[in-house]
């Protein structure tokens, strides 16, 4: 029997909560001072941001959905929203749900933290460290694939233990 990855299952369930919250915000908007924070990895595959924003925030950024956001659309694997950064012109942002690291709704005293080493984020980290590609496993997660030269040698840890 394959090992159960409870941490990944919990992250998937919690991401469904984030999707539902975003769908509600897309339909109803936010009222008054109510705001919603979303932090995500800017270099994650599929994230689309203006180049100058990616350069200013090469690892992670937080956007706030409050007064000045438009066209929030929630798809199965990502959301898109138009927000203003440092100009008067809105920019379209595309964020895969797997890129999200933190969600906060201070008005509701609600906060979620996502483990960046779970699921597709783990495969993304491996890709940035030399994996040539990622392939989808049976449970839907991405697994890094290392090919060609530079394949490691398996070394027994017993050779390093004191006797």
Instruction: Please compute the mean of the pLDDT values over residues 122-128 and round it to a whole number.
Output: 50
- CA–CA dist 61, 100 (Å, integer): 10
* Interval 34-45: pLDDT, tens: 899 999 999 999
Contact 73, 79 (CB under 8 A): yes
* Interval 9-56: pLDDT, tens: 888 899 999 999 999 999 998 887 889 999 999 999 999 999 999 999
- CA–CA dist 131, 124 (Å, integer): 9
What are the structure tokens assigned to 140, written together?
Answer: 């839907």
The DSSP letter of residue 74 is: E
Instruction: Please compute the mean of the pLDDT values over residues 124-133 and round it to a whole number.
Output: 49
pLDDT for residue 138 is more than 60 = no
pLDDT at 91: 94
Rounded to two decimals, the pTM is 0.70
Other beta carbons within 10 angstroms of residue 63's beta carbon come to 18
For Cα atoms 133, 101, 142, give the angle at the middle one, nearest 5 degrees. 25
* Structural domain span for residue 62: 6-113
More confident residue, 156 or 91: 91
What CATH number does the domain containing 107 carry?
2.30.30.220
Structural domains in the chain (count) = 1
pLDDT at 58: 93
Question: 118 lies in a domain?
Answer: no
Question: 145 lies in a domain?
Answer: no
């Amino acid at each position: 029997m394959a090992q159960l990855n409870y941490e990944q299952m919990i992250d998937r369930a919690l991401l469904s909560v984030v999707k539902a919250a975003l769908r509600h915000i897309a339909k109803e908007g936010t009222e008054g001072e109510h705001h919603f924070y979303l932090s995500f990895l800017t270099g994650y595959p599929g994230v689309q941001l203006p180049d100058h924003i990616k350069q200013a925030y090469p690892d992670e950024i937080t956007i706030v959905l409050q007064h000045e956001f438009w066209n929030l659309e929630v798809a199965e694997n990502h959301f898109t929203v138009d927000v203003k950064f440092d100009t008067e012109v809105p920019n379209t942002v595309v964020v895969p749900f797997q890129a999200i690291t933190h969600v906060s709704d201070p008005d509701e005293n609600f906060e979620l933290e996502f483990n960046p080493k779970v699921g597709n984020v783990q495969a993304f980290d491996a890709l940035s460290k030399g994996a040539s590609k990622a392939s989808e496993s049976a449970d839907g997660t991405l697994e890094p694939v290392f090919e060609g030269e530079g394949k490691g040698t398996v070394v027994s840890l017993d050779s390093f233990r004191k006797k």
